[in-house]
Amino acid sequence: MAVARKKAVTRKKPAARARRGEKPGDGAAQILQFKITLEGTVPSIWRRIQIPADYTFWDLHVAIQDAMGWDDCHLHHFLFHGDDESSIVRVGLPDDEEMDGDAEVLPGWRHGVFDQLDRPGDCVIYEYDFGDGWEHAVLLEEILPPARGGRYPRCVAGERACPPEDCGGVHGYENLLKALRDPKHPRRKELLEWVGGSYDPEAFTPGQVKFHDPRKRLRALFETSEP
């Protein structure tokens, strides 16, 4: 799947913007609708979310975490092409323990989503938990006016539950489901306790998604990282 080509980091300025968590006015505020698909899952685990056009990649990260159902307890980054097709830009959460030779991770809170994704069909990869390697295709479907009285971000559709954290990526998740479905599996009881006593892979209700304030989460991140 193609990823979006990098553009200048200067933020675009829509004529009017829906404020985070507030009711937008009747002006020309723009709303970005994304389809988030967890790569490699069959049947597909996906979400459709709508966010204000002035969101940063950090804000989008938090919205994806909330919509999917992840716990935001691992590193992440967004991947897209640089100025030439052979280079890849990473935007996310810089890691102080990066090794020499690793590509620089640009801080997501300094780069706007609409600077990179401004045409329906644009797509980037969002990777979460580099150990399990959960890759999400983040596809811009539409640019919309805000709904009257709407609050953003919001999740408008989706299917299937988020995999449990630390279950071993797509392959580990498949093995987990096989074990939970087999009453005779030797590890079924152990794994059932590990997932909290029950797990329904088909369960998801868009209206039950609760979005957290990305600014508060960012402040908390810096507070916990201080010596």
Per-range mean pLDDT, top range of 72-76, 92-96, 99-103, 218-222:
72-76
Q: Which residue has the higher pLDDT, 119 or 95?
A: 119
pLDDT, mean of residues 186-211:
97
Residue pair 22/211 in contact (Cβ under 8 Å)? The answer is no
pLDDT score recorded for residue 13: 38
Q: Which residue blocks in 87-185 are alpha helix, DSSP H?
A: 113-116, 169-181
Report the alpha-carbon distance of residue 56 to residue 53 in Å, rounded: 9
Give yes or no for residue 181 having a pLDDT over 50.
yes
pLDDT score recorded for residue 15: 35
Confidence category of residue 198, pLDDT binned at 50, 70, 90: very high
The pair of structure tokens assigned to 32 is: 């970005």
pLDDT score recorded for residue 101: 56
Q: 3-state class of 126 per DSSP? A: strand
What are the residues whose beta carbons fall under 8 Å from the beta carbon of 200, sequence distance 6 or more?
Answer: 161
CB atoms within 10 A of CB 19: 14
Tens digit of pLDDT for each residue in 36-64? 999 999 999 999 999 999 999 999 999 99
Confidence category of residue 226, pLDDT binned at 50, 70, 90: low
Burial of residue 211 (number of CB atoms within 10 Å: 0-12, 13-18, 19+): buried
pLDDT, mean of residues 192-201:
97
Confidence category of residue 83, pLDDT binned at 50, 70, 90: confident
pLDDT score recorded for residue 225: 63
Q: Which DSSP state fits 208?
A: G
Residue pair 49/58 in contact (Cβ under 8 Å)? The answer is no
Confidence category of residue 102, pLDDT binned at 50, 70, 90: low
pLDDT score recorded for residue 187: 96
Q: Which residue has the higher pLDDT, 49 or 102?
A: 49
Burial of residue 226 (number of CB atoms within 10 Å: 0-12, 13-18, 19+): exposed
List, by residue range, all CATH 3.10.290.30 domains of the chain: 16-161+205-217
The pair of structure tokens assigned to 93 is: 């959460």
Tens digit of pLDDT for each residue in 11-33? 333 333 444 444 333 334 899 99
Phi, psi dihedrals of residue 97, rounded to the nearest 5°: -100, 20
Confidence category of residue 98, pLDDT binned at 50, 70, 90: low
Domain 16-161+205-217 has CATH 3.40.50.2300: no
Q: Which DSSP state fits 37?
A: E
Contacts for 82-89: CB closer than 8 Å, 24+ residues apart: 82/6, 83/6, 85/5, 88/3, 89/6
Q: 3-state class of 142 per DSSP? A: strand
pLDDT score recorded for residue 104: 87
Whole-structure pTM value = 0.85
Residue pair 18/52 in contact (Cβ under 8 Å)? The answer is yes
Element (H, E) at 33: strand 29-38
pLDDT score recorded for residue 87: 83
Report the alpha-carbon distance of residue 152 to residue 164 in Å, rounded: 26
The pair of structure tokens assigned to 78 is: 């967004």
Q: Which residue has the higher pLDDT, 34 or 7?
A: 34
